[in-house]
Structure 1
Amino acid sequence: MKKCSNAQHPHCTHWVMPGNQACEGGHAQADSSSYALLSAMRTTRSGLPVTTLGDVHTGPAAPSTTTPIAPVAPVSPNGYARPLQRAQAERPQLHISGFDPRAAGGRQTLKMELRGMPEASAPQLALAVQSELIPHGAARQQFVRAVGGDWRPVFVEFSSRDREHGQYQISIEVLSQHAGQAPRKWVCTFVILVPRLDATLTEIHRIFLSTHKNVRVMADDASIARVSASGGDSLDIDVTARNAGIAHLDLNAPAGKVDLGFSTIAWDEDLIEIDMPAAGAVHPHASCAASLVNAAPEAGAQRQIRLFAVEECVFGRFELVDPEAHALLTHYSADGQDTNGLTRRLSGRHAIIRRAGAGFEIEDVSRYGILLDGVWPGKHKPTALRLGMRIELTASIKGVAVLQVSAIMPHGVILHRIDQGASAECYYVLAPDTHPGFPVKTFAAAPHAAALPLLFHGAGGFWHLDQLTGKETALAPTVSLEKLSRVPRHSRFASDAYPEHWIIRTAGGDVSEAYRASSGHAYHAQTA
């Protein structure tokens, strides 16, 4: 038996049984003789002749002795072998390069490249980086797919100035979000060494090699020499690293172009997919309108948090039968809710809130008009919503229904009533099938809206997102809301925006389903 000789896993300690083509860890084995290693570097295509060790090439002269060998990497359509690491990557990996542990106390730049990502990924992937070394503790960038299908690399800067020596974690999160696709997330965590200012290069390299795996290194006297080669018709290579130096030679480029890098170290980190959606996964309780009902609201809280996820959310007059709007408004007086009286001064379709660019806008479509901060915007003239904007319905009579924009999120807006119905209801108007992303970008919100849970719509239903952990919980009538962050106590999820009007009795004692069907939601009829 012998130990693993896979060049991609130089620190593997598994044994290889006689005759086996892989070690106990599953790493493929190859002939480790010097002849085979030289042959692998001197060939580019399958079946090309390879010179024996006794031959020396100074030009294109034919070799005197040839031996056919198997290809070492798949050949790309242009005739050049694919990158060795990319060809062998059977799972998503993050290739990190440009790290120099000798630059203690100074600025460094890490180059990050994606390899092995699924073809069905979004054309742009969000990259979130967290570490004590990074300014403000976090950074966000994007991987963009090039025309050829490869991912453009990103560069992350950090500094170890005034940092205590030791190992620092860097957490990586890659998020794929695209319209019509379920979001996917990959994570990995690696360690960066910040050495002492008086540390010797030998100590630095020894610590680095003991903490990083999958680094192809030939070290002699505390030096590092790395060769990555898969191209060229004839190669005569002599790479030397002495006196704790680092040599990096990469011949994985088209003929006539050689990429040389010095004084840096590179390695691969496996990207682990979390929260991977199952094939054909759907929300357990699909709905485009719902509500959170608080059985015992505290002071300042609302009894109903009404949720809407439509392209254009219509606000209009409350009607028991055949309503024309999604959000049904009524007038509230000191005596409570009044479904007649001043409520009749609201149009069936009074105002529309829709997404517009990076924000949201409101449009007056009524007979009676609306006032935005006391000014009539004009009919059919969309106006961008802003935090704190006061929306009065109608323009002719004061106090019929008054709303205020209390939060503008990346994926929706929150509206609170600031009239006599302030404790009765508030509204979430969300873009359908839109994820706010994680970590969630900072958005403008009033204090009473910032205390509400972060909700979004996806896969046909409503979800709760924990802003600290990123955990997503599908909302359904059977789901307990007690442990969800920022959800008021004594709350339950109702599969209708107006659950108090599920049962509508007619003069004959039957249950009318006209209101439910016209709202476009799924209801369950009940009989007496």
Structure 2
Amino acid sequence: MNKCSNPDHPHCTYWVLPGESACAGGHPQPVSAAPTSYELLSALRARGPATAHGHVQAMQATPLAVAAPPDLMPGLMAKPPSRPQLHISGFDPRAAGGRQTLKMDLRGMPADCAPHLDIEVRSELIQNAGASRQQFSRAADGGWRPVFVEFSSRGKEHGQYQISVTLTSVAEGLPPRRWESVFVILAPRADATLTEIHRIFLSTHKNVRVMADDASIARVQAQGGDSLDIDVTARNAGIAHVNLDAPQGKVDMGFSTIAWDEDLIEIAVPRMAPAHPHPAAMASIVNAAPDAGAQRHIRLFALDECVLGRFELVDPEADVLLTHYSEDGQQPNGLTRRVSGRHAVIRRAAQGGFEIEDVSRYGVLLDGVWPGKHTPVRLRQGMRIELTASIKGVVTLEVSAIMPHGVILHRADHGRHAECFYLLMPDTHPGYPMPPFIATPQAGALPLIVHHNGGFWHMDQLSGKETALAPSTTLDKLSRIPRHTRFAAEPYPESWIIRTGANDLHSTVAASDMTAA
């Protein structure tokens, strides 16, 4: 016989007879309960006698199959499905008007998700534009390293505040996945007392059990007595306040943390993008007739580390090849020689975002300050990057946009109409709709480019439709791409012009036709 397992009556002590659907107290039993030994033996007897030889063979092959008939196997083997959950701890609504830190842990995440998950937390309580972006990293034992989010209710009206969480997984060879969760926290008045937050009456008798659930507050105050046995439980953001007046004797107390679990709901529909017709890690978009303020070349790079350095026609050391521009145009020699072959490196930062590191001989100025050699500095929106530190005006770049999947750089010197740069994370899809980011008007007028499945894609901002970029792709009907624009399979297709001294792109085309003839 088993004891009553009705979830609505956890303290019932009645026994349940074999085969009965209710206990002696009349409480119905759940149908999904595991079969008892009596039920297993009864099912075996109902199947009839078995030969000793067959019984031994079954025991040797599948012992569980003999102990449990097929009709009872699903009940034994079924396991509750694990759901992705965000475990939140460290919240205390009594810390009104002060600084707080939430600890977030991941539980039940799928095994095929990426080893690094991007998390974005948005709330009115969070400073810096109301959002915090970090990363969950998988540990060696398969778990996840927790992240901490700081916020403050200073100067905020008391009440409930919503916190939205977006979790993104971009694994190599798999479609992007995204989970979201929304929960509410309480910010009381700064002068509120514990009694004003919530009143709970407690008696001071012995053997008292107190439970605070769903953000409620349990207050326990006990005086006198030789022995007090009080069980206080605070869960689901509940708070327990215990005050024991025990001048003599020993008091053993254990406090549970203020924590709760929030379900992560997957909202992104998994889909595999079509194969890219022209895989590439570096390319460019060439505008043959740029309008005022537009760039002739949009250079695309999808590398884990992008090296900025001097333009060299033969065996360049860098990926982004930079030359000095004067009022007379591009100057491949002269001050360009003051740019090192490997001058700076831009990569993804460990805590999210992007960073730049000076690896040059002549130095890098970031907003007019030299950070020091081999000292990574996080890129900021609007930051000016000057190459070099010894001579100003050689090459000046500006961070015009920091996207979830890359950085856009514009030239802030005489080469502003010649080129701009997309430095993208390889095989990284930011999802649709893309998380909001800040961009200058120059960067806001550019097309939205992503890199995944080994190549570059144009994404429409309104519909999310993606178009593979290849030399044969017609770009006229794509959003934010002007007419007379083509996709080039290399980042510097005009290198022939510099080598031969041609004046423009039309000269290059004409020369190519003459050579073919």
The TM-score normalised by the length of structure 2 is 0.51
Question: What residue in structure 1 maps to residue 171 of structure 2?
Answer: 179
1:360 partner amino acid:
F
Question: What residue in structure 1 maps to residue 434 of structure 2?
Answer: 440
Q: 2:339 aligns with which of 346, 349, 353?
A: 346
Shift of 1:473: 2.6
> Structure 1's 70 and 181: CA in aligned 2 closer, same or farther, altered over 3 A?
same
Q: Is 1:93–1:271's contact at 8 Å kept on the other side of the alignment? A: no
Q: Is 1:175–1:183's contact at 8 Å kept on the other side of the alignment? A: no
Q: C-alpha offsets along residues 210-267 of structure 1, whole Å, 9 cap, x if unaligned? A: xxxxxxxxxxxxxxxxxxxxxxxxxxxxxxxxxxxxxxxxxxxxxxxxxxxxxxxxxx
Q: C-alpha offsets along residues 65-93 of structure 1, whole Å, 9 cap, x if unaligned? A: xxx993483532xxxx446xx6xxxxx99
Question: CA RMSD, aligned part only?
Answer: 4.9
Question: What residue in structure 1 maps to residue 482 of structure 2?
Answer: 488
Question: What residue in structure 2 maps to residue 430 of structure 1?
Answer: 424
Question: What residue in structure 1 maps to residue 291 of structure 2?
Answer: 298
Shift of 1:40: 6.6
Report % sequence identity: 63
Q: 2:399 aligns with which of 398, 405, 410?
A: 405
1:500 partner amino acid:
E
Separation in 1, partners of 2:472, 2:308: 29
Shift of 1:276: 2.3
Question: What residue in structure 2 maps to residue 374 of structure 1?
Answer: 368
Q: 1:276 aligns with which of 271, 278, 289?
A: 271
Shift of 1:446: 1.1
Aligned residue for 2:463, secondary structure, equals coil
Q: Pick which of 308-317 and 477-486 moved more.
A: 477-486
1:120 aligns with 2:112: yes
Separation in 2, partners of 1:501, 1:282: 30
Q: C-alpha offsets along residues 271-308 of structure 1, whole Å, 9 cap, x if unaligned? A: 99856227xx7432111111111122111111101011
Q: Is 2:310–2:342's contact at 8 Å kept on the other side of the alignment? A: yes
> Structure 1's 145 and 439: CA in aligned 2 closer, same or farther, altered over 3 A?
farther
Shift of 1:49: 6.8
1:75 aligns with 2:76: yes
> Structure 1's 44 and 489: CA in aligned 2 closer, same or farther, altered over 3 A?
farther
Question: What residue in structure 2 maps to residue 465 of structure 1?
Answer: 459
1:385 aligns with 2:379: yes
1:407 partner amino acid:
A
> Structure 1's 428 and 435: CA in aligned 2 closer, same or farther, altered over 3 A?
same
Aligned residues between the structures? 324
1:332 aligns with 2:325: yes
Higher helix share: 2
> Structure 1's 330 and 48: CA in aligned 2 closer, same or farther, altered over 3 A?
same
Separation in 2, partners of 1:491, 1:484: 11
Shift of 1:341: 2.0
Structure 2: unaligned runs, 5 residues or longer: 1-20, 22-28, 44-68, 85-107, 121-132, 144-165, 180-264, 501-514
Separation in 1, partners of 2:70, 2:289: 78
Q: Is 2:34–2:75's contact at 8 Å kept on the other side of the alignment? A: no
1:277 partner amino acid:
M
2:74 partner amino acid:
A
Structure 1: unaligned runs, 5 residues or longer: 1-33, 52-67, 87-91, 95-115, 129-139, 150-173, 188-269, 507-525
Aligned residue for 1:434, secondary structure, equals coil
Question: What residue in structure 1 maps to residue 307 of structure 2?
Answer: 314
Q: Is 2:32–2:75's contact at 8 Å kept on the other side of the alignment? A: no
Q: Is 2:429–2:450's contact at 8 Å kept on the other side of the alignment? A: yes
Separation in 1, partners of 2:115, 2:307: 33
Question: What residue in structure 1 maps to residue 259 of structure 2?
Answer: none
Shift of 1:478: 1.8
Q: C-alpha offsets along residues 9-48 of structure 1, whole Å, 9 cap, x if unaligned? A: xxxxxxxxxxxxxxxxxxxxxxxxx9xxx99768738984
Separation in 1, partners of 2:174, 2:291: 37
> Structure 1's 44 and 485: CA in aligned 2 closer, same or farther, altered over 3 A?
farther
Separation in 1, partners of 2:178, 2:363: 49
Q: C-alpha offsets along residues 411-443 of structure 1, whole Å, 9 cap, x if unaligned? A: 211110111111110011112222223332222
1:356 aligns with 2:349: yes
Q: Is 1:42–1:50's contact at 8 Å kept on the other side of the alignment? A: no
Separation in 2, partners of 1:458, 1:286: 9
Q: Is 1:39–1:50's contact at 8 Å kept on the other side of the alignment? A: no
Separation in 1, partners of 2:394, 2:474: 36
